[in-house]
Amino acid sequence: ASCVQYRLVVRDVNTLQILQLYTCLDQIQYIEWSSDSLFILCAMYKRGIVQVWSLEQPDWHCKIDEGSAGLVASCWSPDGRHILNTTEFHLRITVWSLCTKSVSYIKYPKACQQGIAFTKDGRYMAVAERRDCKDFISIFVCSDWQLLRHFDSETQDLFGIEWAPNGCVLAVWDTCLEYKILLYSLDGRLLSTYRAYEWSLGIKSIAWSPSSQFLAIGSYDEKVRILNHVTWKKITEFEHPATITNTKTIVYKEVEKSPSVETERLSFPPTRALASSLFSTQSKYDISQVPVSLQCIKPVADRANPKMGIGMLAFSSDNCFLATKNDNIPNAVWIWDIQKLKLFVVLEQLCAIQSFQWDPRQPRLAVCTGNSKVFLWSPAGCVSVQVPMEGDFQIVSLSWHSSGDSMVLLSKDNFCVCYLEREEV
Amino acid sequence: MGDWKTITVPVLSSDSKNIFQYTSEKKISPPSMNSQVLRLPLPSSKSMHSFFSAFCTEENIEQSISYLNRELTTLGFPSIYAESKGKELNLISIINCMNELLVLQHKNLRAQEEVEMQHLKLGSDMDHLQNCYAKLKEQLELSKREIVGLQERDRQLQSKNRNLHQLLKNEKDEVQKLQNIISSRATQYNHDMKRKEREYNKLKERLHQLVMNKKDKKIAMEVLNYVGRADGKRGAWRTDKTEARNEEEMYKVLLSDYEQRQKQLLVENAELKKVLQQMKKEIISLLPPQKQKPKERSEDGPVLSDLEEDIGELNKENMWELSCETVREQLTNSIRKQWRMLKNHVEKLDNQVSRVHSGALNEKDVISREDHELETEKLELEIQQCKEMIKTQQQLLQQQLMSPCDDDTTLLLQDCYLLEERERLQEEWRLFREQKKNFEKERRSFTEAAIRLGLERKAFEEDRGAWLKQQFLSMSTDYKHSENVTTPSAFLGSSDQDNRLAKSTSQQRKPHCMLSGPVSAEPCQTSQYITHNSSSAASKKPTGDSKSNQWVESDKEETE
Residues of A with Cβ-Cβ distance to B261 under 8 angstroms: 230
Q: How many CA atoms lie within 13 A of A129 on its CB side?
A: 22
Compute the distance between CA of residue B200 and CA of residue A91 in angstroms, rounded to an integer. 11
Compute the distance between CA of residue A382 and CA of residue A347 in angstroms, rounded to an integer. 9
**Cβ within 8 Å of residue A294, ≥6 positions away:** A242, A243, A244, A329, A331, A332, A346, A348
Residues of B with Cβ-Cβ distance to A54 under 8 angstroms: 227
- Asked if residues A144 and B242 have their Cβ atoms less than 8 Å apart, the reply is yes
- Asked if residues A251 and A292 have their Cβ atoms less than 8 Å apart, the reply is yes
- Asked if residues B5 and B38 have their Cβ atoms less than 8 Å apart, the reply is no
- Asked if residues A92 and A106 have their Cβ atoms less than 8 Å apart, the reply is yes
Compute the distance between CA of residue A196 and CA of residue B55 in angstroms, rounded to an integer. 125
Mean predicted confidence (pLDDT) in B66-74: 83
Give the nearest partner residue to B224 out of A62, A92, A145, using CB atoms: A62
Orientation of helix B486-515 relative to helix B407-478, angle to 10°: 170
Q: How many CA atoms lie within 13 A of A130 on its CB side?
A: 21
Mean predicted confidence (pLDDT) in B199-217: 76
User: What DSSP letter does each residue of A264-294 carry, written as one string?
Assistant: GG--SSPPHHHHHHHHSPEEEEEEEPSSEE-
Min Cα distance B204 → chain A (Å) is 6
CB pairs under 8 A between A and B: 116
Instruction: Provide the greatest CA pair distance for chain B.
Output: 213
- Asked if residues B19 and B12 have their Cβ atoms less than 8 Å apart, the reply is yes
Mean predicted confidence (pLDDT) in A212-218: 89
Q: Is the pLDDT of residue A5 over 70?
A: no
Compute the distance between CA of residue A415 and CA of residue B511 in angstroms, rounded to an integer. 110
Long-range contacts of A298-306 (CB under 8 A, 24+ apart): A298/A328, A299/A327, A299/A328, A305/A176, A306/A201, A306/A220
Q: Measured between alpha carbons, how far is residue B403 from residues B3, B346, B393, B416, B417 in Å?
A: 119, 62, 15, 16, 16
Q: Is the pLDDT of residue A321 over 80?
A: yes
3 state SS of A423: coil
A271 touching B (Cβ < 8 Å): no
Residues of A with Cβ-Cβ distance to B198 under 8 angstroms: 132-133
- Lowest-confidence region among B132-146, B283-297, B499-513: B499-513
Give the nearest partner residue to B219 out of A65, A80, A187, using CB atoms: A65
**Cβ within 8 Å of residue B59, ≥6 positions away:** none
Interchain pair B219, A199: CB under 8 A: no
Compute the distance between CA of residue A61 and CA of residue A52 in angstroms, rounded to an integer. 6
Tell me the residues of chain A between 354 and 413 that have a Cβ less than 8 Å away from chain B.
Answer: none
Using one digit for the tens of pLDDT, what is the confidence trace for B162-174?
999 999 999 999 9
Q: What's the per-residue H, E or C state across B192-237?
A: HHHHHHHHHHHHHHHHHHHHHHHCCCCCEEEECCCCCCCCCCCCCC
Using one digit for the tens of pLDDT, what is the confidence trace for A185-210?
888 888 889 988 887 788 888 999 98
Could you tell me the pLDDT band of residue B482, with boundaries at 50, 70 and 90? low
Q: Measured between alpha carbons, how far is residue A108 from residues A90, A223, B185, B195, B197 in Å?
A: 7, 34, 28, 17, 12
Residue, of B34 and A64, whose pLDDT is higher: A64
- Buried b / exposed e over A153-182, threshold 16 CB at 10 Å, is bebbbbbbbbbbbbbbbbbbbbbbbbbbbb
Q: How many CA atoms lie within 13 A of A397 on its CB side?
A: 3
Mean predicted confidence (pLDDT) in B191-213: 82
Mean predicted confidence (pLDDT) in B523-545: 46
3 state SS of B392: helix
For chain B, how far is it from start to end, CA to CA, in angstroms?
Answer: 162
State residue B477's pLDDT score.
76
State residue B235's pLDDT score.
55
State residue B52's pLDDT score.
61
- ipTM metric: 0.72
Interchain pair B230, A144: CB under 8 A: no
Q: Is the pLDDT of residue B7 over 70?
A: no
Interchain pair A168, B236: CB under 8 A: no
Mean predicted confidence (pLDDT) in B351-375: 71
Using one digit for the tens of pLDDT, what is the confidence trace for A350-371?
888 888 889 888 888 888 888 8
Min Cα distance A187 → chain B (Å) is 7
Tell me the residues of chain B between 246 and 265 that have a Cβ less than 8 Å away from chain A.
Answer: 246-247, 249-251, 253-254, 257, 261, 265
Residue, of B43 and B255, whose pLDDT is higher: B255
B405 touching A (Cβ < 8 Å): no
Residues of A with Cβ-Cβ distance to B221 under 8 angstroms: 62-65, 96, 101, 103
- Asked if residues A369 and A377 have their Cβ atoms less than 8 Å apart, the reply is no
Interchain pair B224, A59: CB under 8 A: yes
Compute the distance between CA of residue A125 and CA of residue B489 in angstroms, rounded to an integer. 148
Q: Is the pLDDT of residue B512 over 60?
A: no
Top-confidence range, A96-100, B24-28, B288-292, B449-453: B449-453
Mean predicted confidence (pLDDT) in B398-417: 70
Q: Is the pLDDT of residue B77 over 80?
A: no
Per-domain boundaries in chain A = 1-107, 251-260+269-424
State residue A82's pLDDT score.
86
Residue, of B216 and B499, whose pLDDT is higher: B216
Min Cα distance A60 → chain B (Å) is 6
Min Cα distance A359 → chain B (Å) is 27
Q: In this structure, what is the dihedral angle of CA atoms B118, B123, B125, B129, given to the nearest 10 degrees?
A: 160
Q: Is the pLDDT of residue A400 over 60?
A: yes
Interchain pair B250, A186: CB under 8 A: yes
Mean predicted confidence (pLDDT) in B472-491: 61
Min Cα distance A136 → chain B (Å) is 15
Using one digit for the tens of pLDDT, what is the confidence trace for B224-277?
666 665 555 555 566 677 778 888 888 888 888 889 888 988 899 889 888 888
Using one digit for the tens of pLDDT, what is the confidence trace for B113-135?
999 999 999 999 999 999 999 99
Q: Is the pLDDT of residue B19 over 90?
A: no
B232 touching A (Cβ < 8 Å): no
Compute the distance between CA of residue B255 and CA of residue B109 in angstroms, rounded to an integer. 126
Chain A residue whose CA is closest to B196: A133
* Average pLDDT over chain A, rounded to an integer: 81
A24 touching B (Cβ < 8 Å): no
* Average pLDDT over chain B, rounded to an integer: 72
Give the nearest partner residue to B223 out of A62, A186, A230, using CB atoms: A62
Compute the distance between CA of residue A45 and CA of residue A22 in angstroms, rounded to an integer. 18
Angle at A205 between CA A201 and CA A211, to 5 degrees: 140
A146 touching B (Cβ < 8 Å): yes
B244 touching A (Cβ < 8 Å): no
Query: Alpha helix locations (H) across B479-518?
Result: 486-515
Interchain pair A141, B229: CB under 8 A: no
**Which option is the CATH number for A251-260+269-424: 2.30.40.10, 1.10.510.10, 2.130.10.10, 3.30.450.40?**
2.130.10.10
Using one digit for the tens of pLDDT, what is the confidence trace for B331-357?
788 888 888 888 888 888 888 888 877
Q: How many CB atoms lie within 10 A of CB B374?
A: 10
Give the nearest partner residue to B242 out of A60, A65, A146, using CB atoms: A146
Give the H or E element holding residue B65.
helix B61-75
Give the nearest partner residue to B221 out of A101, A186, A187, using CB atoms: A101
Give the nearest partner residue to B216 out of A68, A97, A166, using CB atoms: A68
Instruction: Check for a shared fold between A1-107 and A251-260+269-424.
Output: yes
State residue B148's pLDDT score.
97
Compute the distance between CA of residue A86 and CA of residue A109 in angstroms, rounded to an integer. 8
The pTM (predicted TM-score) of the whole model is 0.57
State residue B496's pLDDT score.
47
State residue A175's pLDDT score.
84
- Asked if residues A244 and A291 have their Cβ atoms less than 8 Å apart, the reply is yes
Give the nearest partner residue to B221 out of A60, A96, A166, using CB atoms: A96
Q: Closest by alpha carbon to A143, among B395, B396, B236?
A: B236
What's the one-letter identity of residue B332? T
Using one digit for the tens of pLDDT, what is the confidence trace for B92-119?
888 888 888 899 999 999 999 999 999 9
- Asked if residues A398 and A312 have their Cβ atoms less than 8 Å apart, the reply is no
Residues of A with Cβ-Cβ distance to B236 under 8 angstroms: 144
Tell me the residues of chain A between 76 and 135 that have a Cβ less than 8 Å away from chain B.
Answer: 79-81, 89-92, 96-103, 123-124, 130, 132-133
- Lowest-confidence region among B31-40, B114-123, B151-160, B445-454: B31-40
Compute the distance between CA of residue A265 and CA of residue B525 in angstroms, rounded to an integer. 100
Residue, of A167 and B543, whose pLDDT is higher: A167
A60 touching B (Cβ < 8 Å): yes
**Substitution target from A51, A89, A131 for chain B, most B beta carbons within 10 A:** A89
**Which option is the CATH number for A1-107: 2.130.10.10, 3.40.50.1220, 3.30.70.890, 3.90.1300.10?**
2.130.10.10
State residue B176's pLDDT score.
92
User: What DSSP letter does each residue of A72-94 carry, written as one string?
Assistant: SEEEE-TTSSEEEEEPGGG-EEE
% of chain A beyond a pLDDT of 70: 90
**Substitution target from A39, A54, A66, A130 for chain B, most B beta carbons within 10 A:** A66
- Asked if residues A93 and A83 have their Cβ atoms less than 8 Å apart, the reply is no
